[in-house]
Amino acid sequence: MSTADKIFIETCKDILTNGVWDKDYEVRPRWEDGTPAHTIKKFGIVNRYNLQESFPILTLRKTNFTAAADELLWIWQKKSNNVNDLNSHIWDSWADESGSIGKAYGYQLGLKHKYKEGEFDQVDRVIYDLKNNPASRRIMTNIYNFQDLNEMHLYPCAYSMTFNVSGNKLNAILNQRSQDVLAANNWNVVQYSLLVHMMAQVSGLVPGELVHVISDAHIYDRHVPIIEELIERVEHDAPIFEIDKSIDNFYDFTVDSFKFINYEYNPFKTKVPIAV
């Protein structure tokens, strides 16, 4: 069993066994037919992934690594808030006629701020500090900008990364206010594990641990039977992850800079309904 599968199964079982339903409340999300999308949730999920042991990608079903990596690069490398710069349609529901999602995600990372060393956006400041101030306890990003929330088409879910260097290892904490576990749990884990690998490589470090903190980890009512079937599946061993070692500039990575060897996974043809 891969670490990703083990943690995913434990998380889902915890939510289904110990979670709380919100059926007594009015909820914002709706299914495509207009029905309220209720959830069973667990507050304060904390999962740890040792990136030295394996890359945490699910084998219970396939995680679309190419699309996940493309979205990560769209936010962190392109610093874009326009879906026309993205090679998938996962953000289309929140985009306006021009393709913009407002002052959200990549837009916030690309804003420049003044420091005594000069002007940096949030991504470049992280890279600068990892290279020049690795002992700093201030290496972090935050895209939950209250001033701009009214101009965001969707409030950030995964909103903060804190990087910490211990010896030659780069560790990180991903803070997430809300997560649709079926649709996004491993998707986000894969993305931010990849980010740790990228940041470590361009900073002369090795990837250490990703700690994933989720305030509201929830399973939607129509997802429960899918989750129950998924977590009873037979798992495969984790694949071998490879990254192009020749790259030393964060902005030179592409989706083709990464590959998996022996990625075995169970087929998953179920259409997952998405609440918006």
Structure tokens at 77: 């490398």
Phi, psi of 133 (to 5 degrees): -135, 55
Q: Is 219 annotated as a binding residue?
A: yes
Annotated active-site residue 12? The verdict is no
What region, left, alpha or beta, does residue 136 occupy, with left being phi > 0 and alpha being psi -120 to 50 degrees?
beta
Alpha-carbon torsion angle 4, 69, 174, 234, nearest 10: -10
Beta strands at 113-115 and 39-50: parallel, antiparallel or unpaired: unpaired
- Determine the Cα–Cα distance for residues 53 and 30; give it in Å rounded to an integer: 39
Question: Binding site annotation covers 218?
Answer: yes
Cross-strand partners of 260? 241
CA 102 vs. chain centroid, Å, equals 20
- 188: annotated binding-site residue? yes
Instruction: Please tell me whether 186 is known to bind a ligand.
Output: no
To the question of whether residue 180 is assigned a binding role by annotation, the answer is yes
Q: Is 178 annotated as a binding residue?
A: yes
77 marked as part of a ligand binding site: no
Was 184 annotated as part of a binding site?
no
Residue 128 is assigned to a ligand binding site: no
The answer to whether 164 is a known ligand-binding residue is no
Which residue among the candidates 16, 90, 157, 213 is catalytic per the annotation? Answer: 157
8 Å CB contact between 101 and 176:
no
**Which residues carry a binding-site annotation for dUMP?**
137-138, 177-180, 188, 218-220
**Which residues carry a binding-site annotation?**
64, 137-138, 177-180, 188, 218-220, 275
Instruction: List residues with catalytic annotation.
Output: 157
